[in-house]
Amino acid sequence: MTLLAGLALQKATQYLQLLQTLAQLNAQLAQTGAQLAQMTLLAGLALQKATQYLQLLQTLAHLNAQLAQMAAQLAQMTLLARLALQKAMQYPETNV
């Protein structure tokens, strides 16, 4: 019986060691899960900022296109003003 009790104690000790190992692994898994949740949150925030940045770039591209169109119109008006000035210089006004 002492032999059986010794074997039972040995098995119980092994079982407790296994439970301790499982508890440690469970704690590590919980820590890893918390880190993963934090990284997921950070990735979500980074995605949100990237989306805002892309929207800003789209707005800037639109404004840049409008600015280019206005510059083209200004160049056209400048050319027309030069032509009008040349014509005016060709035909001086007469005093009536």
Overall average pLDDT of the 78-88 stretch: 95
Would you call 41 helix, strand, or coil by DSSP?
A: helix
Integer Cα distance of 53 and 1 in angstroms: 76
Other beta carbons less than 10 A from residue 6's beta carbon: 10
pLDDT at 94: 61
pLDDT at 87: 92
27-56 per-position pLDDT tens digit: 999 999 999 999 999 999 999 999 999 999
